[in-house]
Amino acid sequence: TRTQTHTQTHTTMLQRCYNNPRHTRTRAAPAARRAHRSGRRGNLPPLKAAAGCVGELCEDPWGQDEDVANGEDVDIYRDTALRYAGYANEVGESFAVFLPPFGVPLSYAVAITYVCFDSVDKGKRAQKKEFEFTQVDDDGSPALAFGSAAADAMVWQLLASVAVPGSVIHTTVAATSHLIHDTDVGSAAHATVLAQVGQDLAPALDVAEAWTPTLVGLAAIPMIVHPIDEAIHKLLNVSLRPAIRDVATLQLGDAAGAVVRAMLMASGNDDTQQEVLEDEQVLGVTVDSNDEFDVTIEPAKDVATWTTRAAILVCGASAPFGLFAISDAVFGTVH
């Protein structure tokens, strides 16, 4: 009949949309997957419902229109100017001499508040995503997804917003100060400028030279944010995140796949998010054609693997302190 023909057409379109792994990101995807699965069981949803799923997926395959309308395509803590709140303590330290007594502590409070809010946000994102994957909320997996993502975000922030930027900015300031005050190039530049402006402006020149290292350090912040963020993601991808995957697997078995994917999609890591969207293997977790999550790698139980992960994480976390020491040894105390 005509209705059956339309139904078959929509079923074919639905299968094509469903089989495109990129659609796992869309908010319409759960409805489409349920429709597709019920169709395989011989219980195809009403034509209107199937057409709605097809329309949502094929007209807006990435779910961008709905995401933009709901503000879900932008992570305000990582993808907007609010990201610089994590560097508030660096700015506070730079202008400490001009701030009231509570100025520097306030800058640290701003940075810590930002870190905490971001961690909670990532936990909630993962919890929501895990529920979308499984539609189950009474097996402990939502809480595990929240805790995993929040812990991941907290460690990421401590490294990406505090330890590494502090050492990089400190080194930048020290190197600039050394160039200005302790090298022949700096002395020659000082003499040349002084000859041009005259002795009357010598005090102003001294002030400018004193402030230049600090201003250079602050100017470096926009250039170092993204590289540092991505470097910390790569560090955690080979250390903390596999450990979280294994802990989740030991707790939930194969059901841990949804938890791990939810954590990764909430993490803000471009590399792992792209792999998730393309339905590729991510940290040993795959999704089969029936939309069932599977942990394909046995959780590591040997001491060597856990020791290696811990060593990588400790070395990565210790690197900023090593950079501090090298900077002070090479450039000396900042003037």
Q: How far apart are CA 18 and CA 54, in angstroms?
A: 9
Please report the pLDDT score of residue 95 as a whole number. Answer: 84
Q: Check if the beta carbon of residue 257 is closer than 8 Å to that of residue 294.
A: yes
| Residue bearing the bigger pLDDT, 304 or 38 | 304
Q: What is the mean pLDDT of the chain?
A: 75
pTM: 0.73
| Banded model confidence at residue 16, pLDDT cuts 50, 70, 90 | very low
pLDDT at 178 > cutoff 70: yes
pLDDT at 179 > cutoff 60: yes
pLDDT at 252 > cutoff 90: no
What's the whole-number mean pLDDT along residues 252-258?
79
For every residue of 4-49, DSSP letters joined together read HHHHHHHHHHHHHHHH-GGGGGSTTHHHHHHHHHHHHTT-PPPHHH
What's the whole-number mean pLDDT along residues 90-104?
83
| Banded model confidence at residue 186, pLDDT cuts 50, 70, 90 | confident
What's the whole-number mean pLDDT along residues 119-134?
89
What's the whole-number mean pLDDT along residues 309-327?
90
Question: What 3-state class would DSSP assign to 128?
Answer: helix
Strand partners, 294: 286
| Banded model confidence at residue 272, pLDDT cuts 50, 70, 90 | low
What percent of the chain is predicted at pLDDT more than 70? 70
What's the whole-number mean pLDDT along residues 234-243?
90
Q: How far apart are CA 296 and CA 282, in angstroms?
A: 10
